A and B are shown apart, each in its own frame.
Chain A
Amino acid sequence: MGVNMEELKEKVLAFATKKAAHKSKMYIKDLYKADPDASPRQIKKAANELVKEQKLEYFSSGSTVMYGVPGFGKGIEEAFEE
């Protein structure tokens, strides 16, 4: 699949930033919607690279990991409510 990683990262970041305004923590599954043509593996790769670049951040309960955009933060309890 000819997905360009840089483009995909931009899409994931734009999607996450937009979403962060009303839901500050998201599951990897939410991020799949950033680009329906990309495979789950490509999305997770893009998201993990964005974390390395400190444009996204991980939020972990210990059992599950969610992604957030630095600067957007809501309560921990809220994030883990389905």
Chain B
Amino acid sequence: MADVKKHDTPMVDELKSGPWPSFVDDIEQRGFNGKQACLDLLGQLELSYKHKETHWKHGGIVGVFGYGGGVIGRYSDVPEEFPAIAHFHTIRVNQPASKFYSTAFLRKLCEIWDYRGSGMTNFHGSTGDMVLLGTSTDQLEPVFFDLTHQMGADLGGSGSNLRTPSCCVGKARCEWSCIDTQDICYNLTMTFQDELHRPAFPYKFKFKVSGCPNDCVAAIARCDCAIIGTWRDEIRIDQEAVKAYMGGELKPNAGAHSDRDWGAFDIQKEVIDLCPSQCMMMDGNELKINNRECVRCMHCINVMPEALRPGLDTGATILVGAKAPILEGAQLATVALPFIKMDKDNDYEEIKDFVDKVWDWWMEEGKNRERFGELIQRQSMQEFLRRTELKPIPQMVKEPRSNPYVFWSAEEVEGGWKRDVKTFRARHAA
């Protein structure tokens, strides 16, 4: 056994006794295999449990040359007790689109990190990056050199930068994908390298790309600009397969719920009645969908994947402004563009034009540490539409009467808001 010292950590150790695998086991194991940093980390955690406050110092000027993101400085404020984690900087590494790796890549990455860092990683952080946890300032440039020169990898985003764009598995493995999520993700990443590596904004900005409204990367809840695949023609129906589901030959939800006996499949109860827009019906033995009313929720398709498929005229819905609850509570994204074609051949110009307008407005008017969604809340949806040159449409209304954002402006009204009070009062008593 390597020459390492485990601290006395009764409270942290208790976490190992639960029913689930514990991070404590994993970190401790790596520690006993020769990484004092891992044991010091658990020691400091114990101290934090005791004091009920963190012992990490926040932030700093660390980074790699030419980059203003990707490295997050962390220092222990009790370095005498835990010298191996006196510096404990995090490095974000931009993941490949949809997170496909070769084992050789992962092995190499782990070798670099075992040699130059704590050996601890987090796959993946909530931005999508591979997260390398804990190294000292003098190791940052060597790690960066190895990543870029040996691995063909680059740092991800942090701070007031564009954050590493991420996407669902998309067309690589999922037949529902209406757009090439990986190509879009990669294209945005390469187009916005400057914004990704150097601070540009009042706060973070995230893109996430899902291939269909199932939204496996939770773009609608987590990012400032969500790109979600959809279709504008009709759901493709294979009536024979519909009958096979009804007759029990095909398992609903591709058998995902077959661990329990839920009884015979009931298309009325399990599909038609659950359609949020009530736009499905059985016409004799035929399933009918009123596609004009369909809101593309994916429910029917998820239940009967062999019978129903997304349409063929595919594109994306663009939503903006989701965020976590720092100010004003959590917020889901709002539809900005209900449908655009995601056109590879013109380099996704349409969405990039839109994003440019979004950034211009936010960079000018956003307050320090104000997310884009908060700017819309503060300055109004109407101002958002004006600055992005969009026309108001019904899809933008959350529900009738709750966000009446369409108002006339003085320029749109003959004579503006000015009027002659005297002539008005001649007709109306004060």
Chain A residues close to B by CB (< 8 Å): 27-29, 40-41, 44, 48, 51-52, 57-65, 68, 76-77, 79-80, 82
Contact = CB atoms under 8 A, between A and B. Distances in A.
Interface stretch (B12-20, B197-205, B238-246, B277-285): B197-205
Given A41-B363, A51-B68, A52-B66, A59 B199 contact: no
17 contacts: A29-B368, A40-B364, A41-B200, A48-B68, A48-B199, A58-B199, A60-B59, A60-B62, A60-B68, A60-B73, A61-B58, A62-B58, A65-B159, A65-B199, A76-B58, A76-B60, A79-B59
A29 B58 contact: no
A56 to B, nearest CB: 10
Given A44-B198, A60-B59, A60-B71, 13 more contacts: A27-B368, A41-B360, A48-B68, A52-B66, A57-B61, A58-B61, A58-B63, A60-B60, A60-B68, A63-B369, A64-B159, A64-B160, A65-B160
B61 to A, nearest CB: 5
Interface in B40-95: 57-63, 65-66, 68-69, 71-74, 90
Contact of B363 (A40, A51, A68): A40
A29 B70 CA distance: 21
Interface string B333-368: 000000000000000000000000000100110111
Query: Looking at chain A's contact residues, is the secondary structure mostly helix, strand, loop, or mixed?
Result: mixed
B158 interface: yes
Contacts of B65: 52
Contacts of A52: 65-66
A46 B89 CA distance: 27
A61 B68 CA distance: 11
Contact of A80 (B59, B202, B366): B59
B161 interface: yes
Contacts of A65: 68-69, 159-161, 199
Nearest to B197: A48
A44 B159 CA distance: 14
B159 A62 contact: yes
A76 B58 CA distance: 7
Interface of B: 57-63, 65-66, 68-69, 71-74, 90, 158-161, 198-204, 360, 363-364, 366-369
A63 B204 contact: yes
A63 B369 CA distance: 9
B386 to A, nearest CB: 18
Contacts of A62: 58-59, 72-74, 90, 158-159
Contacts of A82: 368
Given A40-B363, A48-B199, A64-B369, A58 B68 contact: yes
Contacts of B62: 60
B200 A63 contact: no
B157 to A, nearest CB: 11
Contacts of A64: 159-160, 203-204, 368-369
Nearest to A62: B72
A57 B198 CA distance: 12
Contacts of A28: 160, 199-202
Nearest to A77: B58
A8 to B, nearest CB: 16
Contacts of A44: 198-200, 363
